[in-house]
Amino acid sequence: MVKGAKGRRGVRIALVVAAVLLALAAGALAFAGNYLFNFALNPQSGGMADSGEWELEGDSAWFNDSSEDRWLESHDGLRLHALYLPREGSHKYAVICHGYGSIPQYGGRFAARFYGMGYSVLAPAARAHEESGGRYVGMGWPERRDIVAWVDDLAAQDPQAEIVLFGVSMGGATVMMTAGEADLSPHVKCVIEDCGYSSVWDEFAVQLRDMFGLPTFPVLDAASLISRMRAGYGFREASAVEQLKKTALPMLFIHGEDDDFVPYSMLDVVYGACASPEKERLSIPGAGHGEASWEDPELYWSTVEAFLDRHMGG
């Protein structure tokens, strides 16, 4: 009897120790997941520059000074901001989506190029960026619905509108995700993405490895769960790949071959996933992340212009 009691006490002690260790591990995992979520998606964590800290010069200053403010209420009640530069007499529009942590004004060099080609330009600020509302960065996923709404606003303004969606980095992912929306207006004629990622999960997996030296499991799983609870989406569902499987829009995919932030290999992934019968790809040797238009502007813009000539009525 005494020996049996000691055995039962030993089992209970072992179970208590195991429970304590499990609780500590769960707590540590929750802390790590929450840290990663805040680091990547919460502007209040200090990882993103305040819009007032950006210096505007050149095309950025021109775009800021020449454009007018547009406002839109999102489907979930956020007040969203965009810069709008009308081109008198034109029915062609370029919707330009900026990258992570950036602002619409920093798309000024793209705005200037499209404006010079005869396009009116709309440059929305992504959620939790610049003057747009939102507590968390959406990485393109909730923004896909915002772009649908911005497009509808342009179409209501101009029933003859022909629209191209254009985005770089997070903006590239945004326009790819938008392309798969069933209710996207037929006024959108084509899409151009530059160095967008295949999914939020894939991109964060790269950064988790490169910045912290950590595997995806279990930290990224925990961060994704926290994102679903706090931001309303999980990292796996925020997938350009899955959205591209549903689009028939003409697509141009651009990527720098030396990009290691959004790896160049993702170009093959998104291009291969795209269901459109009219899709093209452009690789720019020597270009790092977001540098394709700088590295070889002649090739970049001649390809873009030829693509637009084919799909935007010349």
What digits encode the pLDDT tens for the residues 211-260?
Answer: 888 889 898 999 999 999 999 999 999 999 999 999 999 999 999 999 99
Q: Average the pLDDT over 301-307 and give the result.
A: 98
In this predicted structure, the answer to whether residue 32 has a pLDDT above a threshold of 50 is yes
Is 69 a domain residue?
Answer: yes
Contact 235, 207 (CB under 8 A): no
Contacts of 311 (CB under 8 A, 6+ apart): 164, 189, 190, 250, 278
* Separation CA 193–CA 95 (nearest Å): 12
Note the pLDDT of residue 213: 87
- Under the banding of pLDDT at 50, 70 and 90, the label for residue 307 is very high
Q: Which amino acid type is present at position 16?
A: V
Q: Average the pLDDT over 14-41 and give the result.
A: 58
Q: Average the pLDDT over 170-186 and give the result.
A: 98
Percentage with pLDDT > 70 across the chain: 87
| Tens of pLDDT, residues 75-116 | 999 999 999 999 999 999 999 999 999 999 999 999 999 999
Note the pLDDT of residue 53: 65
Structure tokens at 70: 């547009």
Domain containing 162 — which CATH number?
3.40.50.1820
- Under the banding of pLDDT at 50, 70 and 90, the label for residue 177 is very high
Contact 87, 66 (CB under 8 A): no
Is 211 a domain residue?
Answer: no
Is 103 a domain residue?
Answer: yes
What range does the domain containing 257 cover? 61-199+238-311
Place of tokens 């990224």: 220
Mean pLDDT, all residues of the chain: 90
Look at the pTM and tell me if it is higher than 0.85. Answer: yes
Is 121 a domain residue?
Answer: yes
Note the pLDDT of residue 184: 98
Q: Quick count: other Cβ atoms within 10 Å of Cβ 208?
A: 18
H runs (alpha helix) in the chain: 2-41, 59-66, 108-116, 141-157, 170-179, 200-212, 219-230, 240-244, 265-273, 292-295, 297-311
Across 15-29, 52-66, 157-171, least confident range: 15-29
Laid out side by side, the sheet with 279-284 consists of 68-73, 79-85, 120-124, 92-97, 162-168, 188-194, 251-256, 279-284
Question: CA distances (Å), 86 to each of 151, 158, 171, in order?
Answer: 15, 12, 21
In this predicted structure, the answer to whether residue 265 has a pLDDT above a threshold of 90 is yes
| Tens of pLDDT, residues 108-142 | 999 999 999 999 999 999 999 999 999 999 999 99
- Under the banding of pLDDT at 50, 70 and 90, the label for residue 3 is low
> Given CA atoms 284, 290, 295, 299 in this order, what sign does their dihedral have?
positive
Structure tokens at 111: 């705005």
- Under the banding of pLDDT at 50, 70 and 90, the label for residue 14 is very low
In this predicted structure, the answer to whether residue 24 has a pLDDT above a threshold of 80 is no
Structure tokens at 271: 């291009």
* Separation CA 181–CA 246 (nearest Å): 8
Is 3 a domain residue?
Answer: no
Q: For the chain, how many structural domains are there in total? A: 1
Is 89 a domain residue?
Answer: yes
Note the pLDDT of residue 21: 34
Is 26 a domain residue?
Answer: no
Is 17 a domain residue?
Answer: no
Across 14-18, 59-63, 79-83, 204-208, least confident range: 14-18
Q: Average the pLDDT over 49-74 and give the result.
A: 87
Note the pLDDT of residue 8: 52
Closest CA to 254 of 281, 218, 234: 281
Residue with the larger pLDDT of the pair 18 and 220: 220
Contact 197, 203 (CB under 8 A): yes
Collapsing DSSP to helix, strand or coil, 313 comes out as coil
